Amino acid sequence: MDKDLLSIQEARDLATTARDAQRIWLHATQEEVDRVCSAMADAAFQAAGRLGQMASEETGYGVAAHKKLKNEFASRNVWESIKDIKTVGVISRDPQRKIYEIAWPMGVVVGLTPSTNPTSTVMAKALIAIKARNAIVFCPHPSAAKCSLETTRIMADAAERAGAPKGLISCFENVSLEGTQELMRHKYTALILATGGSAMVRAAHSTGKPAYGVGPGNVPVYVDRSADIEKAARYIVGSKAFDCSTICASEQSVVADKPIADRLASLMQAQGAYFVSEAQADALRRTLFFENGAINSATVGKTPQVLAALAGIDVPSSARILVARLNKVGKDEPLSREKLTTVLGWYEADGWEAGCDRSIELIQFGGRGHSQIIYATDEKVIMAFGLEKPVFRILVNTVGTLGAVGFTTGVMPSMTLGAGGVGGSITGDNVTVYHLFNVKRLAFEITPPPEAALAPAGEVTKADLTAQEIEAVVRGVVEEILRLQ
């Protein structure tokens, strides 16, 4: 049988098995749910190093040690953030309003995962899905199929040993576009949780199914004259170099306030930033991007030395990141795009207002709704950035890579970062367990209906009604006429 037909059949089988398992899991108690999820998190955490190595070797992206850290975060930190959240039965009660809120799972969730963060994304999505009493079927990126499948197997085995039904967590083995489309459109699929490139997110939204689609970011980092410049330099270089910039919230361009720009550049150089010449920048432009603006996948998640070899340029062995001085944003400047590798743009702006404008330019060019970083101590400047930027994570005096996912900040730990309506997402939140169950409301009467609403038609006269009741009746008639039209 052809691979695409095998994949389509596998999609149908996985969806059916997941539906059957979820029907059983629907009746799990909170204690059972938490026991299973805890076992999953422990198993994933113990395998973090091995899975990080697998992901790095299979994809050729990033740094194995950094992927281990991401796996530990996606298992331990994500679980710690959701373990005390109620997801079974009555989850809250309002005595005054006489309302009970009851959690209800989505059903079968399809998890699309990227090649840049394959194992950590599987871990985080599996935990939030099972905690909410869903089943989940993973569709991995083809270039990360083996490590994604192994991560799924580890978590599924741990879940089943702890009492979960078989088939509650599964992953494609015969990965294909046709199989993925079949699964996303399958009648048993209730929700799609898509993390990856723009094409993947568009495909998820085009199925007609509810979808949380989160895609690219083009994250600017503004460094104000009031900032701790030494800290900013150390954090920016370290964050951009972390896992060779494969997290979508990694820094893409520095916008340096003019009075401190030279000092910031010098301090960044001391941390391993190599500022390329214009000729070298041209070579990087041609190497990183195709003419249509798409990134060359061969350059994703690579060290400066590998990029230099691909571009035919020389860079020091000590370089941790490459920095290109730029003066414009848009299609005519490829390096102003998102760069999922160790290349950083550099702009200078005189004053925070100009820095704000440049940041918005960068956000509008491929990063709407995602993230912005600011280094400053001036509260007025910080608040202005928070109020004015069309993004849903404004990170203050911290690293972009680990700040946006909730490692170094108080935002909800997640590997799936919503970009809100402006970025084509249904939410601007860090997607977590709250997004994977619905809430039923058991509502008791607190206000009796007006007598006019209960009286037989024709028995109520105008004189019997109060002015408020007359207004309500008229409004109801008008609304009914408009509805029928």
Beta strands in 218-277 (DSSP E): 219-223, 251-257, 273-275
CA atoms within 13 A on the CB side of 122: 35
* Angstrom distance (rounded) from CA 477 to CA 390: 42
Q: What is the dihedral of CA 44, 49, 51, 54, to 10 degrees?
A: 180
* Angstrom distance (rounded) from CA 338 to CA 319: 20
Q: Which of 416, 48, 409, 357 shows the shortest CA–CA distance to 201?
A: 416
32 burial (CB, 10 Å; 0-12 / 13-18 / 19+) is middle
Active-site residue (options: 147, 171, 244, 248): 248
Q: Cβ(416)–Cβ(433) under 8 Å?
A: no
At 404, give phi and psi (nearest 5°). Answer: -70, -35
The CA angle 250-255-256, to the nearest 5 degrees, is 125
* Angstrom distance (rounded) from CA 374 to CA 223: 6
Q: Which of 333, 322, 249 shows the shortest CA–CA distance to 285?
A: 333
139 is catalytic: no
Q: Which of 109, 206, 174 shows the shortest CA–CA distance to 431?
A: 109
Q: Tell me the catalytic residues.
A: 248
